[in-house]
């Protein structure tokens, strides 16, 4: 049997030797150009300390590469020194120089804040993780210090600052600082061995910790279900198991349950081999608990892990992108397993399962991956963002038309409160209207409603504002002109395009309502006829209730342009003209009512004038027939009335003397006298149609008339009533020519 070997040829060996020489020369050149970094972390306690960074360089070797010497270096450093970093200047000793930087802190939070600022100034995307533990409790006791950044990372701003100021050329920028440095850690006077190289990882502990701690967090019913698996390095004996149980029962969250053994399949895969039931119980422990919120979860984990650096927080943000609206949930914080995880083990593993049963494993740098190949560490930064598309519960557009022509539209976006809790302001910002619109967010049961009101004093102003809120949207009212005393038919056409706010694919139930103005109404049959396509759709429901129309659909609507609303009623012009007419009629009635007494008085005066005229005509007739004295004269005057003196009768006046051609008064006309003043009385004969010759009427004889006048009936006196002396019995009242009541309706 022959062994086959391969011996490199001489030319090949020469090429390898030449390459090694080149690499050595390059390393020497780079080391000559680069500054050396040393780090000293001095801790007074687990909270307070100082990080000292020493940057050493040889000016003789770099005099051609550094323009201006140490003075130029010092000026450039002071000019660009970031906040949070202290600079004590450059100390020179011969050809060697050393710059000193310090980061002092009185708490881990302050230290973390300053480091974050320096990394940002250096353009680094490292999210700092800092753990400083000095504990005599827990399963791992002693001093542990761990960081995920180096001093070179904190000074990343320096090379470019020197290039900007012309101290170093751009070609030498990457060789300003050395890629390796020396790091030491001291806790008080005790130096703690660092095994992390340029990144600190120092410990001096008594280790009874677990090989693996596997944390499974599952979102469930708005809260979280948590299972923690503690995997032992080996099968625990009675003493170790008792110490483990005592500590875990002390730090477990309230309401949690601790069980022997392991239940998770992933945890069982890391567990030490065990065959018997009793041995399987001692390969680890399982802890389960529930959290109602991210804050509750953070409190439980902080108590469990014990380290002060453990912290959990969450935030929500509404994001609008490509007409889709999502709520992003961000979980951030730090999990420090220093008191539970063995420094020599695999550390902590975090897996998050969302509400859609999608699993994410978080690696030590905080990155979430859907695979299960993430790394493990005793320190894990959590920075997970999950997105959930907003599923609206409903969408409603409520419009109304005023009698004065004003128009209003309310847009009501309803979301589940549990999905958008804490993001109300962002929702308001996303759905808000223009400067003239009113936007508010309110709670209604389990819904969060964003309400936007758009209003205009007339159609033009309303459509201008509506178009600002929803481009290419308008509402048109078409009605006939002129005056219509009993109203007219008109139409309202809403063309509202919601796609600019909601996109074209949302599927929430939609409702559109229209409220007609006062004195207007809607008819179900007319609405159905004007919207036959919608009426015949099984997904659309048209309902009229008096002056209101409701259009509902179980599917999302991106535009209402196909809808027509027929309305019947009065316009503002009709109402004004009708009001004027009715007002005039009422005014007339009011005037008649107010002037009724004056009208009655005027009618009474009219009756008096008519009575006076009749009396005057009667007197004239008496004179014409020869009456020379009144009845009172003939009767010898009136008797005294209740104390008034009796009036004497007037003496009969002698007749007037005969005038030329006329006979004297009180003188009978001669028979056959044809004088125009003769009063004729036809005398009827015995036979029909025969008249006797005209006879003259005798002259009026007052004495004879008085003698011939029949006595007036005396009004009977009432029982017990006496006639006063000098008073004659009263004559019965004679009715006037119009009767006792002339029927005047206004009297």
Of 95 and 563, the structure prediction assigns the larger pLDDT to: 563
Number of residues assigned to the chain = 747
Residue 737: pLDDT band (50, 70, 90) is very low
pLDDT value at 742 more than 50: no
Q: Which secondary structure element, helix H or strand E, spans residue 567, and what is its range?
A: strand 565-569
441 near 450, Cβ under 8 Å?
A: yes
Strands 394-401 and 510-515: parallel
Q: Phi and psi at residue 214, in whole multiples of 5°?
A: -110, 120
Nearest to 319 by CA among 390, 371, 259: 390
How much of the chain, in percent, has pLDDT values that exceed 90? 32
Three-state DSSP class for residue 191: strand
pLDDT value at 745 more than 50: no
251 class by beta-carbon count within 10 Å (0-12 exposed, 13-18 middle, 19+ buried)? middle
Strands 35-43 and 177-187: parallel
pLDDT value at 700 more than 70: no
> pLDDT of 667-681, one tens digit each?
444 545 454 444 444
pLDDT value at 568 more than 50: yes
86 near 78, Cβ under 8 Å?
A: no
Secondary structure of 498-550 in HEC code, one letter for each residue = CHHHHCCCCCCCEEEEEECCCCEECCHHHHHHHCHHHHCCCCEEEEEECCEEE
Contacts of 123-129 with CB under 8 Å at 24 or more apart are 123/156, 123/157, 124/149, 124/153, 124/156, 126/153, 127/365, 127/366, 127/381, 127/383, 129/334, 129/364, 129/379, 129/381
pLDDT value at 722 more than 60: no
pLDDT value at 373 more than 60: no
Instruction: At 655, list the tokens.
Output: 């007749």
One DSSP character per residue, 256-318 reads -EEEES---HHHHHHSPP--SHHHHHTSEEEEEEEESSHHHHHHHHHHHH--TT-EEEEEEEE
How much of the chain, in percent, has pLDDT values that exceed 70? 75
221-230, 338-347, 362-371, 406-415: segment of lowest average pLDDT: 362-371
> pLDDT of 419-449, one tens digit each?
777 778 878 887 887 676 788 999 898 899 9
> pLDDT of 401-422, one tens digit each?
998 889 999 999 898 887 777 7
| Number of helices followed by number of strands (H, E) in the chain | 20, 32
> Angle at Cα 236 formed by Cα 235 and Cα 237, nearest 5°?
120
**Dihedral over Cα of 354, 360, 362, 366: its sign:** negative
Residue 253: pLDDT band (50, 70, 90) is very high
pLDDT value at 317 more than 60: yes
pLDDT value at 374 more than 50: no
> pLDDT of 266-279, one tens digit each?
999 999 999 999 99
- Distance CA(609)–CA(653), nearest Å, equals 30
- Distance CA(714)–CA(703), nearest Å, equals 22
Of 502-506, 561-565, 665-669, the range with the highest mean pLDDT is 561-565
Q: What is the pLDDT of residue 385?
A: 78
- Distance CA(221)–CA(205), nearest Å, equals 41
513 class by beta-carbon count within 10 Å (0-12 exposed, 13-18 middle, 19+ buried)? middle
183 near 319, Cβ under 8 Å?
A: no
- Distance CA(346)–CA(199), nearest Å, equals 19
pLDDT value at 66 more than 90: no
Q: What is the pLDDT of residue 291?
A: 92
- Distance CA(737)–CA(601), nearest Å, equals 19
CA 650 to chain centre: 106
Exposure string (b/e) for 103-142, b if CB count within 10 Å is 16 or more? bebeebeebbebbbebbebbebebbbbbbbbbbeebbbbb
Q: Phi and psi at residue 133, in whole multiples of 5°?
A: -125, 130
Q: What is the pLDDT of residue 158?
A: 92
Residue 533: pLDDT band (50, 70, 90) is confident
Exposure string (b/e) for 669-685, b if CB count within 10 Å is 16 or more? beeeeeeeeeeeeeeee
Q: What is the pLDDT of residue 548?
A: 92
CA distances (Å), 112 to each of 38, 117, 282, 290, 512, in order?
A: 20, 9, 39, 31, 55
- Distance CA(276)–CA(350), nearest Å, equals 29
Average pLDDT over residues 152-177: 89
Of 367-376, 477-486, 708-717, the range with the highest mean pLDDT is 477-486
CA distances (Å), 291 to each of 294, 299, 416, 420, in order?
A: 7, 9, 21, 19
Average pLDDT score, the chain: 78
Q: What is the pLDDT of residue 644?
A: 52
Nearest to 213 by CA among 336, 310, 46, 42: 336
- Distance CA(425)–CA(441), nearest Å, equals 8
CA distances (Å), 628 to each of 330, 631, 680, in order?
A: 130, 10, 20
CA distances (Å), 280 to each of 210, 228, 259, 277, in order?
A: 15, 17, 12, 5
- Distance CA(747)–CA(732), nearest Å, equals 25
Residues 6+ apart with CB under 8 A from 431: 411, 413, 439, 450, 452, 501
Average pLDDT over residues 137-152: 90
Q: What is the pLDDT of residue 710?
A: 52
pLDDT value at 16 more than 60: no
């Amino acid at each position: 049997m022959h062994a086959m070997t391969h011996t490199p040829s001489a030319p090949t060996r020469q090429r390898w030797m030449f390459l090694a020489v080149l690499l050595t020369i390059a390393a020497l050149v780079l080391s000559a150009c680069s500054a050396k970094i040393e780090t000293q972390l001095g801790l007074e306690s687990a909270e307070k300390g100082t990080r000292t960074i020493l940057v050493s360089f040889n000016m003789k070797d770099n005099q051609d590469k550094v323009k201006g010497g140490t003075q130029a270096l010092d000026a450039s450093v002071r000019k660009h020194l970031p906040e949070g970093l202290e600079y004590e200047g450059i100390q020179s000793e011969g050809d060697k120089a050393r710059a000193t930087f310090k980061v002092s802190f009185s708490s881990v939070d302050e230290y973390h804040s300053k480091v974050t600022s320096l990394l940002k100034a250096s353009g680094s995307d490292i999210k700092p993780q800092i753990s400083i533990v000095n504990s005599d409790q827990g399963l791992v006791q002693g001093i542990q210090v761990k960081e995920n950044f180096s001093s070179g990372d904190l000074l990343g701003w320096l090379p470019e600052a020197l290039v900007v100021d012309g101290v170093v050329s751009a070609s030498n920028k990457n060789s300003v600082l050395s890629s390796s440095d020396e790091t030491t850690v001291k806790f008080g006077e005790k130096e703690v061995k660092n095994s992390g190289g340029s990144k600190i990882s120092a410990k001096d502990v008594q280790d009874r910790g677990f090989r693996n701690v596997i944390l499974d967090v599952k979102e469930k019913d708005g809260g979280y279900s948590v299972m923690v698996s503690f995997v032992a390095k080996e099968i625990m004996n009675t003493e170790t198991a008792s110490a483990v149980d005592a500590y875990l029962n002390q730090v477990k969250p309230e309401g949690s349950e601790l069980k022997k053994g392991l239940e998770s399949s992933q945890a069982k895969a890391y567990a030490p081999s065990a065959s018997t039931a009793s041995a399987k119980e001692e390969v680890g422990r399982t802890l389960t608990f529930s959290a109602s919120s991210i804050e509750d979860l953070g409190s439980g984990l902080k108590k469990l892990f014990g380290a002060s650096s453990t912290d959990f927080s969450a935030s929500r943000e509404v994001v609008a992108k490509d007409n889709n609206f999502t709520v992003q949930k961000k979980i951030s914080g730090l999990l420090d397993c220093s008191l539970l995880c063995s420094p020599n083990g695999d550390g902590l593993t975090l897996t998050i399962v969302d509400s859609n049963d999608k699993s994410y494993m978080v690696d030590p740098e905080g990155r979430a991956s859907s695979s299960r190949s993430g790394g493990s560490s005793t320190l894990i930064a959590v920075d997970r963002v999950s997105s959930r598309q907003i599923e609206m519960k409903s969408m409603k557009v409520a419009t109304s038309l005023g009698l004065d022509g004003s128009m209003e539209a309310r847009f009501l976006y309803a979301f589940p409160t549990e999905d958008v809790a804490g993001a109300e302001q962002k929702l308001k910002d996303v759905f808000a209207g223009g400067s003239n619109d009113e936007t508010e967010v309110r709670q209604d049961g389990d819904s969060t409603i964003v309400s936007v009101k758009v209003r205009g004093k007339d159609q033009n102003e309303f459509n201008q504002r509506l178009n600002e809120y929803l481009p290419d949207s308008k509402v048109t009212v078409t009605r006939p002109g002129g005056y219509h005393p009993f109203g007219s038919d008109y139409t309202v056409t809403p063309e509202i395009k919601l796609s600019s706010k909601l996109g074209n694919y949302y599927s929430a139930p939609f409702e559109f309502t229209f409220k007609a103005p006062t004195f207007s109404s809607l008819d179900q049959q007319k609405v159905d006829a004007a919207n036959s396509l919608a009426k015949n759709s099984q997904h659309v429901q048209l309902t009229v209730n008096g002056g209101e129309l409701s259009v509902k659909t179980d599917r999302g609507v991106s535009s209402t342009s196909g809808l027509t609303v027929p309305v019947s009623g009065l316009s503002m012009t009709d109402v004004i003209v009708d009001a004027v007419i009715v007002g005039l009629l009422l005014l007339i009635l009011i005037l008649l009512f107010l002037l009724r007494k004056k009208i009655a008085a005027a009618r009474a005066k009219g009756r008096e004038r008519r009575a006076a005229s009749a009396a005057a005509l009667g007197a004239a007739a008496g004179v014409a027939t020869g009456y020379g004295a009144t009845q009172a004269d003939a009767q010898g005057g009136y008797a005294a009335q209740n104390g008034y003196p009796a009036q004497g009768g007037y003496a009969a006046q002698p007749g007037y003397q005969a005038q030329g051609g006329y006979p004297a008064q009180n003188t009978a006309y001669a028979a056959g006298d044809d004088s125009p003043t003769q009063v004729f009385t036809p005398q009827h004969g015995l036979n029909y149609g025969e008249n006797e010759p005209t006879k003259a009427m005798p002259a009026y004889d007052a004495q004879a008339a008085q003698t011939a006048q029949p006595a007036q009936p005396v009004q009977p006196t009432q029982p017990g009533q006496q006639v006063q002396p000098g008073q004659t019995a009263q004559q019965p009242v004679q009715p006037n020519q119009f009767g006792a009541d002339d029927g005047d309706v206004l009297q």
